[in-house]
Every structure is written in C-alpha cells, then in structure tokens.
Amino acid sequence: MQAKVFAKDGNVKGSIELDDSIFNVEVSDGAIYYAINNELANRRVGTACTKTRAEVNYSNVKPFKQKGTGNARRGDNKSPIMVGGGTIFGPRPRDYSFSIPKKMKRTAIKSLLSLSVKEDRLVVLEDFTVSGKTKEMEAIVKAFMKDEKRTVVILKDDDVLIRRAAHNIPYVRVLSYDKLSAKELLYARKVLLMEGAVSNLKSFFEKNEGEAV
C-alpha cells in the first residue's frame, strides 16, 4: 500500500510503502476491546478501602441494657446498621491488573493502525527532531490538525526532545513505535507516524511474532 510522506510544514515530500500485514488488516473489534480494557484495568490504583465493624473507632459498651426497653437487642454502635458503623462488603485494596496474550495485543494495534488508514486519520511524516521548545512541536502538529483535537505522534525511537516539546500540549500524545497504546490510537483524531517508525514497526512485529505472555 502506497502512502504519501509529508514534510514538517505539511507539504508532500514523497511516498512510502506501508506493509499490508500491519496497515491493511481486517479490523478485530474484539481484540481492540480487550486491549483497551486491559490498559485501563492496569492503570487502576485499587486503593479504595472502607472500614468493617472491627476497624471502626467506637466503644464496645452496650448502648442500652438488654431487657426492659422495648428495643431490639443491641450489641454495640459498630454494627453496620448503625449510623457511623462499619461497612458490609465495602471495597478493599486490590489489584485490578490482568494480562492478555501478546498476539491479541498485536492484533489490536494492527487493527487500530489499519482503521486509522481507512478513516484517513494516519499521516506519514518525515523524520524530524526539535530543540525541545513547545512552540516548535505545536507548529508541526497544527500543520496537520488545525483544531486542538487529540493527536498521537509515533516516534521511530525515544526522542527526549520531542517528548519534552509535546509535554505541555494537552491534546498531543507521544508514543514510541514499540510501546503503542490501543486507547490512544482509538481516540486519536490524527495519527502522525514518523517515516522511520514504518520500518521499525515491521521489524518489531516480525521479531515478536508467535510470542505469548
């Protein structure tokens, strides 16, 4: 599949061959769902905690005598049915993370890259670097996305200066070719793929083909 290569200013520079096994595959909605669900679950902190009746700071003294009041028998004010008492089956600290097969994760990423091509959201951009200034990165992004909508930049390597320049742009996400996020790719209105990342993606998927969790 042929795709245009754009310069930083938005002008067409040339063309490049996109691998059909990555950018032209059948979209798997199921793989995308599980990949995003996995990412969101792994981000959860899981520190929510409520106190049981054994942990509530109350006295163990009976609030009133056992007989003669006409009331039901009452043990103490820590009971869950009392105001300020313990909580029954409340949340406790837990680990929400889980793993999915690497093959499913790769299928999801390929599906999302192919979907971005079909929906004309993917742009192949010449390899570039910046001095680390936000205005430089913002000018490059606005050459392809006029509105301030979510944009993903896929790097051919971990360029610290590009990451620094994009850090203060709230609608821009910077990802390395080998650490792509299914959630970011799904919600991105524009995907800027660096020219060098095209071949790196092919090598990355070929190298990891057949691996499992």
pLDDT digits (tens, 9 = 90+) for 174-186: 999 999 999 999 9
pLDDT (tens digit per residue) in 25-77:
999 999 999 999 999 999 999 999 999 999 999 888 888 899 999 988 888 88
Q: What is the pLDDT of residue 212?
A: 47
Identify the burial level of 8 via C-beta atoms within 10 angstroms of its C-beta, where 0-12 means exposed, 13-18 middle and 19 or more buried. Answer: middle
CATH code that applies to domain 2-27+102-208:
3.40.1370.10
Strands 2-6 and 12-17: antiparallel
**pTM of the complete model:** 0.83
Percent of the chain past pLDDT 70, that is, above it, reads: 98
